[in-house]
């Protein structure tokens, strides 16, 4: 008997073995096969045994990597439900027009990409003709995340089906006149066609996963049944290097998102060269996706390879395909048959014999042309398999040739991503290859013509009939005529008007209290989507757990440890809260899906995503741009805001710059409210503008960013007549006199503008200035430096058009004959945004530099934004004007220890 201990690693001794003799016999059998038939045969048997066990439902670790062959053999491919020859002609026209559009535009130097769509044409065409559900049928249709660099091919198809004209194609990447085509999928630029902006690579895959999840969320919460909607994400193999591309694979598998399919165009090339020059990207991706729990379908080789696989009786061909690195596969694409015979087949005696049975033409057909991603039957079979698989998402790894059909100058060349045009001779060769009826005479003045078979041609009729059967054109974005949501009751917002009296309240808590009231609204409450990245308790939101529930497709399969407590952790299949764990990127992807549901599904949802402000714009600003591009609506809330409000947290948590980044996003309405009533007024206005009755000419496709603070402070009552100022960005909170301070009749005066938590230091400084220096200070609340700046910029633009318009900042400061000192808990450049439009003398204070760990008081003294520093700065400004003695500045510095 063989000793099993000698055959297995020592750590396996810890596993119980009820029959060691049987175990040893299995091991001995494997040894015998390896000795008699070779290690490759032994490995083959092991893989097939594991595959069989997996298919039988045995609980075994999954096989992460299979041979470098198609998952679906030719004998198992379903028959295509359609006219393959007709689809070949349609695809040929699309290939031609995509290349022609980019080439014609190259004379203007606007660029464009040809090679990506050339490799992926059949991946799209098969979907458009057979699988992608449009939005004119039942439900919401499918959601298509188109690979950004493939956009010329999508435009070409829209031209063929009559949605675009030649004039449109000639305006590719020329948008300033208003009728051009954006370079990539951009809903803001072409809102009737594009749904999802995808060219910031990595965000498409991440967003597609959370879109599929949000579809389930809508269905499970009984908002809308979108169970028939399928999410298709078309991605590049090089794109999968982006960390966002694979960040949520486990989530998709964990929640069983079988309404999601990734189609990865494995042309083995990224922008500069091979994706995995010395390795195999397909095998790497297969292992990664299988390890995460996805169903994997590989479509690598075309039908021409069937003969070679039938000749492979020893497995030598499959072994060789596994060991050849991707860069060498690319080289085969560009070399003659003799080179391939020597380098590929010549490495193994069995392959040498096989090659003797193959003609040069056969070898070139296989290595130059025949790829799974270029044959509609292979693609059709893969898509069918994806839709029929239940319980997990599917990834299709389709091997293609980058630059396919564009000629020897393009195919598989490292530089083809930067190659923007074909010569006329190359176009004529392409025409002959595609068998298109385009004559030499149509090349007028040396310019390549567009091609179209005619609006009533069999090709166009077929295309339109197929799309009609699938629910209308695709891709397409719908602007649903959704009625304005009814405004919540005023009492929810007015609850903060009286202030908090002697009780202190942080603005973070004020926002959460407001949300609790709004979510209880009987008409719109169910449309709120609270999103939080595992910090709900930090923000005081744990009371929402039992009442709203945390969304989980499985509900709650366990008894929570805190079940006996009032605010216990409750998960539910119809839960309203999306608690994403520690992932700001995932939370933003959730937000984007919810923020655009008004268009995607015709269901306006109101997301609010609350996060540590430092980990918002700094970490996920690219997704905020994606949100703006996708015309998303909702509320982003940067909690624990400011550089000095988080005691002890230090540099990594001290946010002094988010409003700077937010100001760069044209779709972001950025606010830094100081008081609870300001938070309420801003949210009320946001609901009106985004979801209610927007004013004429007012852009509804915006989102609101509010910074709120964790520092408890007394909340004052709301002064009368300030709503316009709150929304537009500035209003006078009080004067020295209205604050009850005693100042001389002819006292020097200064205007103190404070935003957010800085208003409280400003009010303290106002008191010190009056009581210790006889200076009168008026305090203004600057709720939005950014909105003030944008209003001023619009006034400047109007002036260039010959229109007289006064910026709001000048209107509210009109008649003020005293200097202005602006203060915030952010970098000085935040308030300095408006400096050029302030006619009074201007200066500012802010928290520039890195954050630090200390008490709030010490941090504010360090940055020079505390009340006493404000006093010194105010006196210095007045001294320059000769309104206070210069000696007063020195005296103040010494008195306050500055």
* DSSP three-state, residue 264: strand
Q: Please state, in angstroms and rounded to a whole number, the distance separating the CA atoms of residues 479 and 477.
A: 7
Q: Please state, in angstroms and rounded to a whole number, the distance separating the CA atoms of residues 598 and 578.
A: 18
Q: Is the pLDDT confidence value at 9 over 60?
A: no
- With a CB cutoff of 8 Å and minimum separation 6, the contacts of 865 are 644, 758, 761, 823, 824, 825, 845, 846, 847
With contact defined as beta carbons under 8 Å apart, do 142 and 261 qualify?
Answer: no
Instruction: Please report which helix (H) or strand (E) contains residue 90, including its range.
Output: helix 84-105
* DSSP three-state, residue 607: strand
The confidence band for 416, taking pLDDT boundaries of 50, 70 and 90, is low
The confidence band for 15, taking pLDDT boundaries of 50, 70 and 90, is low
The confidence band for 4, taking pLDDT boundaries of 50, 70 and 90, is very low
- With a CB cutoff of 8 Å and minimum separation 6, the contacts of 205 are 145, 233, 235, 239, 240, 244, 245, 246, 262
* DSSP three-state, residue 789: helix
Cβ-in-10-Å burial (0-12, 13-18, 19+) of 176 comes to: exposed
Q: Is the pLDDT confidence value at 13 over 80?
A: no
The confidence band for 7, taking pLDDT boundaries of 50, 70 and 90, is very low
Q: Which of 107, 110, 115 has its CA nearest to residue 271? A: 115
Q: Is the pLDDT confidence value at 88 over 50?
A: yes
pLDDT at 482: 60
Instruction: Please report which helix (H) or strand (E) contains residue 493, including its range.
Output: helix 490-494
Q: Please state, in angstroms and rounded to a whole number, the distance separating the CA atoms of residues 438 and 835.
A: 62
Q: Please state, in angstroms and rounded to a whole number, the distance separating the CA atoms of residues 272 and 415.
A: 6
CA 835 to chain centre: 34
Q: Which of 858, 197, 138, 276 has its CA nearest to residue 592? A: 197
Backbone angles phi, psi at 282, to 5 degrees: -60, -45
pLDDT at 2: 41
Backbone angles phi, psi at 61, to 5 degrees: -55, 140
| Prior bond of 883 cis (ω within 30°) | no
Q: Is the pLDDT confidence value at 194 over 60?
A: yes
Q: What is the pLDDT of residues 828-874, one digit of tens each?
A: 999 999 999 999 999 999 999 998 898 999 999 999 999 999 999 99
First to last CA, the chain: 87
The confidence band for 56, taking pLDDT boundaries of 50, 70 and 90, is confident
SS3 letters across 324-393? CCHHHHHHHHHCCHHHHHHHCHHHCHHHHHHHHCCCHHHHHHHHHHCEHHHCHHHHHHHHHHHHHCCCCC
The confidence band for 475, taking pLDDT boundaries of 50, 70 and 90, is very high
With contact defined as beta carbons under 8 Å apart, do 692 and 484 qualify?
Answer: yes
With contact defined as beta carbons under 8 Å apart, do 816 and 797 qualify?
Answer: no
With contact defined as beta carbons under 8 Å apart, do 476 and 193 qualify?
Answer: yes
- Whole-prediction pTM: 0.94
Q: What is the pLDDT of residues 92-132, one digit of tens each?
A: 999 999 999 999 998 888 888 888 999 999 999 999 999 99
With contact defined as beta carbons under 8 Å apart, do 555 and 573 qualify?
Answer: yes
Q: Which residues pair with 713 in a beta bridge?
A: 505
Q: Please state, in angstroms and rounded to a whole number, the distance separating the CA atoms of residues 198 and 200.
A: 6
In the predicted model, what is the mean pLDDT of the chain? 93
Q: Which of 450, 551, 540 has its CA nearest to residue 214? A: 551
Q: Please state, in angstroms and rounded to a whole number, the distance separating the CA atoms of residues 798 and 680.
A: 32
């Amino acid at each position: 008997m063989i000793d099993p201990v000698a055959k297995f690693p020592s750590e396996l001794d810890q596993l119980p073995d009820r029959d060691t003799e049987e175990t040893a016999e299995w091991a001995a059998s494997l040894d015998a096969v390896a000795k008699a038939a070779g290690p490759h045969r032994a490995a083959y048997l092991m893989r097939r045994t594991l595959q069989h066990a997996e298919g039988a439902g045995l609980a075994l670790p999954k096989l992460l990597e299979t041979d470098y062959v198609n998952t679906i053999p030719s004998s198992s491919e379903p028959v295509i439900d359609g006219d393959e020859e007709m689809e070949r002609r349609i695809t040929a026209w699309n290939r031609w027009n995509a290349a022609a559009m980019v080439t014609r535009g190259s004379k203007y130097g606007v660029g464009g990409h040809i090679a990506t769509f050339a490799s992926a044409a059949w991946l799209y065409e098969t979907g458009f003709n057979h699988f992608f559900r449009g939005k004119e049928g039942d439900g919401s249709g499918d959601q298509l995340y188109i690979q950004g660099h493939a956009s010329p091919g999508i435009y070409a198809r829209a031209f063929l089906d009559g949605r675009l004209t030649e004039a449109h194609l000639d305006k590719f990447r020329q948008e300033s006149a208003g009728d051009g085509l954006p370079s990539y999928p951009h809903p803001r630029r072409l809102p009737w066609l594009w749904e999802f902006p995808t060219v910031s690579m990595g965000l498409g895959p991440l967003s597609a996963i959370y879109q599929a999840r949000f579809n389930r969320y809508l269905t499970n919460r009984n908002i809308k049944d979108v169970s028939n909607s399928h999410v298709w994400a078309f991605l590049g193999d090089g794109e999968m290097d982006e960390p966002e591309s694979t960040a949520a694979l486990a989530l998709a598998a964990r929640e069983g998102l079988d309404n999601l399919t990734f189609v990865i165009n494995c042309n083995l090339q990224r922008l500069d060269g091979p994706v995995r020059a010395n390795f195999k990207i397909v095998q790497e991706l297969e292992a990664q996706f299988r390890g995460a729990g996805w169903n994997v379908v590989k479509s690598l080789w075309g039908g021409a390879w069937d003969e070679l696989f039938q000749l492979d009786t020893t497995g030598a061909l499959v072994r060789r395909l596994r060991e050849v690195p991707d860069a060498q596969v690319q080289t085969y694409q560009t070399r003659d048959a003799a080179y391939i015979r020597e380098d590929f087949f010549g490495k193994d005696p069995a392959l040498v014999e096989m090659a003797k049975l193959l003609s040069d033409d056969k070898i070139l057909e296989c290595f130059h042309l025949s790829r799974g991603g270029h044959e509609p039957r292979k693609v059709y079979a893969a898509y069918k398999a994806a839709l029929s698989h239940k319980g997990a998402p599917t990834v299709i790894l389709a091997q293609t040739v980058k630059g396919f059909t564009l000629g020897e100058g393009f195919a598989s060349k490292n530089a083809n991503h930067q190659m923007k045009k074909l010569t006329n001779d190359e176009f004529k060769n392409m025409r002959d290859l595609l068998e298109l009826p385009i004559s030499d005479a149509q090349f007028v003045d040396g310019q390549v013509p567009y091609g179209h078979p005619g609006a009533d041609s069999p090709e166009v009729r077929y295309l339109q009939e197929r799309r009609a059967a699938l629910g209308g054109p695709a891709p397409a974005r719908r602007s649903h005529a959704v009625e304005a949501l009814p405004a919540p009751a005023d009492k929810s917002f007015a609850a903060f008007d009286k202030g908090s009296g002697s009780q202190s309240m942080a603005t973070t808590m004020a926002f959460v209290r407001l949300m609790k009231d709004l979510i209880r609204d009987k008409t719109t409450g169910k449309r709120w989507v609270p999103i939080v990245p595992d910090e709900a308790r930090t923000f005081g939101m744990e009371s929402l757990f039992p009442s709203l529930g945390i969304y989980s497709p499985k509900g709650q399969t366990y008894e929570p440890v805190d079940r006996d407590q009032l605010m216990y952790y409750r998960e539910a299949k119809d839960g309203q809260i999306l608690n994403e764990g520690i992932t700001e990127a995932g939370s933003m992807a959730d937000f984007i899906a919810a923020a655009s549901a008004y268009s995607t599904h015709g269901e306006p949802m109101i997301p609010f995503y609350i996060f540590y402000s430092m980990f918002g714009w700094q970490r996920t600003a690219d997704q905020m741009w994606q949100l703006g591009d996708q015309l998303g609506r909702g509320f982003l809330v940067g909690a624990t805001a400011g550089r000095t409000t988080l005691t002890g947290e230090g540099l990594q948590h001290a946010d002094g710059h988010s409003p700077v980044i937010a100001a760069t996003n044209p779709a972001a309405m950025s606010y830094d409210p100081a008081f609870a009533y300001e938070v309420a007024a801003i949210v009320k206005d946001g609901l009106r503008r985004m979801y209610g009755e927007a004013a004429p000419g007012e852009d509804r496709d915006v989102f609101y960013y509010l910074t709120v603070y964790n520092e408890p402070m007394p909340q004052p009552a709301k002064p009368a007549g300030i709503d316009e100022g709150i929304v537009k960005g500035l209003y006078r909170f009080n004067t020295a006199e209205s604050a009850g301070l005693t100042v001389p009749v002819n006292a020097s005066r200064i205007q103190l503008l404070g935003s957010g938590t800085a208003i409280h230091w400003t009010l303290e400084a106002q008191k010190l200035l009056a009581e210790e220096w006889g200076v009168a200070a008026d305090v203004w609340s600057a709720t939005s430096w950014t909105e003030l700046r944008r209003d001023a910029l619009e006034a400047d633009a109007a002036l260039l058009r010959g229109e007289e318009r006064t910026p709001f900042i000048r209107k509210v400061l009109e008649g003020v004959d005293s200097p202005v000192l602006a203060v915030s808990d952010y970098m000085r450049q935040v308030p300095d945004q408006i400096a050029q439009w302030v006619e009074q003398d201007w200066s500012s204070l802010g928290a520039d530099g890195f954050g630090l760990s200390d008490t709030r008081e010490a941090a504010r003294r360090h940055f020079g934004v505390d009340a006493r520093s404000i006093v010194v700065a105010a006196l210095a400004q007045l001294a320059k004007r000769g309104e206070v003695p210069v000696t007063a500045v020195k005296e103040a510095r010494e008195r306050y220890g500055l």
